[in-house]
Structure 1
Amino acid sequence: MSSSAPLLDTVPMPAEGVRLKPAFDAGRLLRELTSLREHTWDQQRVYSEDGVGAATEVDWRCLALRSPGGEADRTDPGGPGPRDFADTEWLDRIPYVREVLEFIPAPLHAVRFMALGPDTVGIDHTDPKYGPRWGVGRLHVPVVTNPGAVLVLDGVEHRWQPGEFWFGDFSRTHRVQNTGTEHRVHLVIDVLVTPGLAALFPESWQSYFRDGEVLYNRQENPQTPDEVRRLATRFPVPETFHLWEDDTPLSADLPVRTASLAEQDGRAVLRLADGRVFALVHLGDHEYRFAGWSEERTLQVFPDGPDPRVVLRTRAGSGVDELTVTAERLPA
């Protein structure tokens, strides 16, 4: 087991949010949004280790454009699970929004239209690990707003306007509120942080992306089913390893559970002894991240030699926590 701590002289994030380049056509966005408003959208839901959770109690509704498995009724942000993100049927009806998404040089996770109703105030909360330090970013493109629609992010009030393109660090405390008389609707885009994404930020942020606590994600390196089957192994993992919002060190004295790397439906999956299955994304050199999440946690398989092993890692910026466990080869 080994670990490394983040550097002490790194550049801090310049602000809680920033406008990106370019701006988008607010009129085209509004027309496409209007074409999708003929039915009532579903309430926003949360996502946790137990899967899709309860709906929000306030008037906060969503339409999923990308979701786990491409399910059109998923209003939650998703996360590690049995299926990766995919386009929903709604995205086929809005070609300009698709252009906007194709412009973003980073892997896309959840993409939703999110509508906050009039006279609605959300609660103060954080979205754990939704920030560049963990390799995840959340972007907003406002479509409909009014003077009473405010995002309070880390104590700062923001009133973003239609067609603008914004990043916010939603790992900080924030609240949405709409004291106006019409819905406030944003296109909300969750992405993995990449160097291409960093290039969309203004020059004043480039030193942060160069020398700050930023976790960059590698591109997927696809494998064939046979390649995955040759890596089939069984090994112990700490019981919190699959809990992506958890901060428990891998070296902690925790109970372990049995896990296995296997091939299922042509791709690599992590199977836990309790029956849970997590799709994996291959990054190269037999290292995988969870589908639906970033490189904040990975597992790397070393199947050859007399002592097969698996290296588990969690990351935050430049810091890495690492645990090596003994593995058992399984029949291919």
Structure 2
Amino acid sequence: MSNAMFGAAQLEGEFDVDRLVAELVHLEATQWAKQRTFGESLEPTEETEADWRVLPLRSPEGRVDRTDPGGMGLVDYASTPWMEQAPYIASIVDALPTDVRAVRLMALGPGAEVSEHRDYPYGLPAGWVRLHIPLITNAEAVLTLDGVDYTWPPGTLWFGDFNRLHSVRNGGSERRVHLVIDSYVSRELLELFPADFRESMRWSDVLVDRPEMPLGKAELHSMLAEFALPGQFLYGEIDELDDPGTPDLEGRLRLDGDRLVLDVGDVPTASLVHIGEGEFRMTGGMMDRTLKVEPADGALRVRFRRRHGSRTEEALRSAARPVG
């Protein structure tokens, strides 16, 4: 993108720090967990060694044990019971002009640090951004993002391009606590960005979310299919979509209530969200990977797409109607 100089930007919106901290104090009695991620099998990884604790306020299915940001799957995001105990925070999240995925309170203890890494895929070309509202911080609690050091003031709203190399260290004597919000990219959310940021953007490289367009049962039935699924479609990067060195998997679309479900092999993997023209993204997933069932010479085929900004890679596979 042409706005490469913008690793971070302060967005419109300032919030009452006293109210934020009061809700944080109330939530101190809950069970904060050490940060961990979940793999493709949705099994949790080992806890981080750093003093980095998380309280999920919104997570896949509202689960209190999901300290990770989540991703595509069979269930959508929902508020956890902790969000009900934080009405001011809930009002801030509800007022954001976009659909929100994960919301977490993340606390980095004194002396703790998180080594340099990238969060993939994040950023405007991926259609998924991470926003921060600091609650408690100190001058020695520093985020280094793309070589620039930041200490964001409490009560302010920030975008960070965490697809870039970044690290965090807390050299102070008190913890650093941020409200971390993962959201889709909407046109309305982009209006909160500074004017100079928006003026420098290459808009064709911004992947904007598309709202769900529900389908009737008859249309959904017409898309039931069995097919070969490119092995890198669900978890690979854009250049790996149709990798000849990766074998295809067995894929199937079946109906579960009013939604299509993608089975990989015999494993239910993701429910699908229709975004128009027969194209679907995965529930909890982003616009960066979609599939489309379409007629082809009296038969069916499935078009798999991976996007990153203005780049699109496609793979086509023939499909058959399910037997029985």
TM-score range, shorter chain: over 0.9
* Local SS of the residue matching 1:21: strand
Amino acid at match of 2:69: P
**Structure 1 residues not aligned, in runs of 5+:** 1-9
Question: Equivalent residues in 2 for 1:269-280 (5 A)?
Answer: 269-280=261-272
Amino acid at match of 1:54: E
Q: Distance in 2 between matches of 1:206 and 1:250?
A: 31
* Local SS of the residue matching 1:100: helix
Q: What is the aligned counterpart of 2:115 among 123, 132, 138?
A: 123
Q: Distance in 1 between matches of 2:139 and 2:3?
A: 31
Amino acid at match of 2:221: R
Deviation at 1:23, TM superposition (A): 1.0
Taking a change above 3 Å as real, the CA distance of residues 269 and 144 of structure 1, as seen in their structure-2 partners, is same
Between stretches 47-56 and 33-42, larger displacement belongs to 47-56
Count of residue pairs the alignment pairs up:
322
Residues 14-53 of structure 1, C-alpha deviation per residue, up to 9 Å, x if partnerless? 4100100011111111111111001341011113323232
**Does residue 255 in structure 1 map to residue 251 in structure 2?**
no
Q: Distance in 1 between matches of 2:145 and 2:247?
A: 37
**Does residue 323 in structure 1 map to residue 315 in structure 2?**
yes
Quote the residue 1:90 is aligned against.
82
* Local SS of the residue matching 2:84: helix
Q: Distance in 1 between matches of 2:59 and 2:218?
A: 28
Deviation at 1:119, TM superposition (A): 1.1
**Does residue 68 in structure 1 map to residue 60 in structure 2?**
yes
Question: Equivalent residues in 2 for 1:126-275 (5 A)?
Answer: 126-209=118-201, 211=203, 213-225=205-217, 227-243=219-235, 246-253=237-244, 254-275=246-267
Q: What is the aligned counterpart of 1:45 among 31, 36, 55?
A: 36
Deviation at 1:241, TM superposition (A): 0.8
Q: Distance in 2 between matches of 1:84 and 1:74?
A: 13
Residues 65-93 of structure 1, C-alpha deviation per residue, up to 9 Å, x if partnerless? 11111101210111122212111111111
Percent of residue pairs bearing the same amino acid type: 40
Determine if contact 1:231/1:303 at 8 Å carries over to the other structure: no
* Local SS of the residue matching 2:205: coil
Deviation at 1:208, TM superposition (A): 4.0
Determine if contact 2:232/2:243 at 8 Å carries over to the other structure: no
Q: Which TM-score applies when normalising by structure 2? A: 0.94
* Local SS of the residue matching 1:123: strand
Higher relative contact order at CA 8 Å, sep ≥6: structure 1 or structure 2? 1
**Does residue 35 in structure 1 map to residue 26 in structure 2?**
yes
Taking a change above 3 Å as real, the CA distance of residues 208 and 53 of structure 1, as seen in their structure-2 partners, is farther
Deviation at 1:249, TM superposition (A): 3.2
Q: Distance in 2 between matches of 1:92 and 1:268?
A: 31
Deviation at 1:274, TM superposition (A): 4.6
Quote the residue 1:313 is aligned against.
305
Q: Distance in 2 between matches of 1:100 and 1:262?
A: 38
**Does residue 22 in structure 1 map to residue 13 in structure 2?**
yes
